[in-house]
Chains A and B, each alone.
Chain A
Amino acid sequence: MKVKGTVHKYGDNIDTDVIIPARYLNTTDPEELKLHCMEDIDAGFVNKVKPGDIMTGGKNFGCGSSREHAPIAIKSAGIACIIAESFARIFYRNAINIGLPIIESAPAVKAIKDGDIVEIDFDKGRIKVGDKVYNAPAFPQFIQDIISAGGLLKKTGAKNGL
């Protein structure tokens, strides 16, 4: 799978409170959550994001609350992949579990500028920024199995004979 899109670049420690403020957690509807995605750090984001765009962050992306509403809001806003220097662990799990592709690459993040067009080849683990190519580490087999099953619950369901 390949994606190519325009980058929305953010800094270090992007927390789940700014990704989706708690005042909107009285709903579980992705269509409603996406309207408030990144609202407290970039109020213009929802108006400029296009399906297939890419988000980048610095260190510890998605820190804070365990709210799955955060990756759900980003995914339903149209973001095809997040590249960050590192992810907070609960966000990392949640993104994989809901099928939002994420990649860790500090060199790529450092090279990417807001508004750049970036191409990601997930099968080869490559991030292309202009003429430069960055390699990202592959997921462990266990995680690849979750992704190829179509998410954690499909894997759980298959195992339980459902």
Chain B
Amino acid sequence: MGMTMTQKILAAHSGLDKVSAGQLIEADLDIVLGNDITAPVAINEFEKANLNNIYSKEKIVLVMDHFTPNKDIKAAEQCRRVREFAEKHQIVNFFDVGEMGIEHALLPEKGLVKAGDCIIGADSHTCTYGALGAFSTGVGSTDMAAGMASGKVWLKVPKAVKINLEGKFNANVSGKDLILHIIGKIGVDGALYKSMEFSGEGAANLSADDRLCVANMVIEAGAKNGIFPVDDKTIEYMKQAGAVDYKVFEADPDAEYDGEITVDLSALKPTVAFPHLPENTHPVDEITENIKIHQSVIGSCTNGRYEDMAAAANVMKGKKVAKGVRCIIIPATQKIYLECIKSGFAEIFIEAGAIISTPTCGPCLGGHTGILAAGERAVATTNRNFVGRMGHTTSEVYLASPYVAAKAAIKGYLGRDII
């Protein structure tokens, strides 16, 4: 029996010719990532264990993105803790305000993650980099601390679910609609402990930004990682980003899969996940009653990339945000922010009555820059809609694509007639 793409990368990083599902391995790490929430805990553990040396000055990446620009004194103290650690250990890839972006948009853009890599990050959405053909998974702070010291992580080789993608999206349907559709189909634990291996002509038809969005949310189905085959689009993306020394792995034709799903991209429609689980999905045109919204958030590690900004600008051009709706747009990196200005998107957003924030995770996790009051509703291009995720426990988050979130901002509600 052959190996999946994930299994091949894991074998190559653990010095083995072959690995199989369920096997425990110790893998070499190309990147160890942390942010201003998780790195302070990792640094505490690192120092408590008297681990004085990091394994590489280049391979540890620290991004101050969650509660930045510092939302309060405690957040400022946490960033200082990470900043001082980075200075002490001469960590090259430390990104502070001015250089930072939302980590999972920033690392691919900077060429720090690439095909064939084995990556861990103390952030659950670290699975994003599978879009470029890497093995990449989220861990906690203690795993991050151990990774910083040893350059290794223990892993159980995952089983795989194969996701065959066919066809092409219709207009105004995007990667977000695809991943919400899949989560709606298999549930929030539908791929628990497994890798989601995307393939087929439909996967090749997805843009790099759409693949990053899809891989980003595989964790919402419980998956360990998601991965896309490497093709010309991947190689072009990595070239633009300056990523070098990438390695292309392909699944064996006789690789074993624990289940297969086929999705016809041309049959997908704009889709929304209702509170309070990402699996509560409904096509927009099947929403029976209009749902009044108070806020629309367009950004995050899921949907804060250039194509997302373009989709929102396309909807909002010459329109006004509905009275009573706060529309918060967050380009995910400084580069995307600048592109929004140069492309005229920034003017469209401001003319429409939206605000544009500096890159931050902010409202996605209920941190800052758009917290909801009791009973308020938001449509958001973020990735989770758990109880209290964006604010008060009685507030609600509806997950959607930038196209749908922009439409809802203009109309003031989510309903079948907004698209």
Contact = CB atoms under 8 A, between A and B. Distances in A.
A69 B71 CA distance: 19
Interface in B33-50: 37-38, 40-41, 44-46, 48-50
B357 interface: no
B140 A26 contact: no
Contacts of A88: 189, 192, 222
Given A60-B189, A142-B24, A22 B366 contact: yes
Interface in B128-144: 138-143
Interface stretch (B227-235, B282-290, B386-394): B386-394
B39 to A, nearest CB: 10
A18 B388 contact: yes
A66 to B, nearest CB: 4
A132 interface: no
B145 interface: yes
Contacts of B41: 28, 68-69, 72
Interface string A147-162: 0000111101101101
Contact of A65 (B124, B143, B154): B124
B224 A89 contact: yes
Interface stretch (B72-80, B258-266, B326-334): B72-80
A94 B51 contact: no
Given A28-B40, A90-B138, A154 B49 contact: yes
A86 B189 contact: yes
A151 B51 CA distance: 14
B222 A65 contact: no
B102 interface: no
B122 interface: yes
B246 interface: no
Interface class of chain B by DSSP: loop
Contacts, number: 143
A160 B51 contact: yes
Interface string B249-282: 0000000000000000000000000000100000
A152 to B, nearest CB: 5
A21 B390 CA distance: 10
Contacts of A98: 142
Nearest to B383: A64
A66 B51 contact: no
Nearest to B142: A97
Interface in A44-94: 59-60, 63-69, 71-72, 86, 88-90, 93-94
B149 A160 contact: yes
Interface string A26-45: 11100000000000110000
Interface residues on B, range: 35 or more
A22 B75 CA distance: 12
Given A90-B124, A97-B142, A152-B146, A25 B222 contact: no
A66 B121 CA distance: 9
B142 A151 contact: yes
A140 interface: yes
B124 A64 contact: yes
A156 B53 CA distance: 12
Interface in B173-199: 188-189, 192-193
Contacts of A154: 49
Contact of B188 (A27, A63, A71, A162): A63
Contact of A26 (B52, B72, B122, B126): B72
Given A21-B388, A68-B41, A152 B142 contact: yes
B413 interface: no
A94 B122 CA distance: 11
B67 interface: yes
A47 B336 CA distance: 47
A13 interface: yes
B123 interface: yes
B37 A67 contact: yes
B384 A17 contact: yes
Nearest to B44: A28
Interface string B140-184: 111101100110001000000000000000000000000000000
B3 interface: no
A64 B384 contact: yes
14 contacts: A13-B189, A17-B387, A22-B367, A25-B37, A25-B67, A26-B72, A26-B74, A26-B75, A27-B74, A65-B124, A89-B193, A153-B51, A156-B146, A160-B51
Interface of B: 24, 37-38, 40-41, 44-46, 48-52, 66-67, 71-72, 74-75, 78, 121-124, 126, 138-143, 145-146, 149-150, 154, 188-189, 192-193, 222, 224, 277, 365-367, 384, 386-389, 393
Which 4 pairs of residues, A with B, have the shortest CB-CB distance? A94-B140, A26-B74, A97-B142, A153-B49
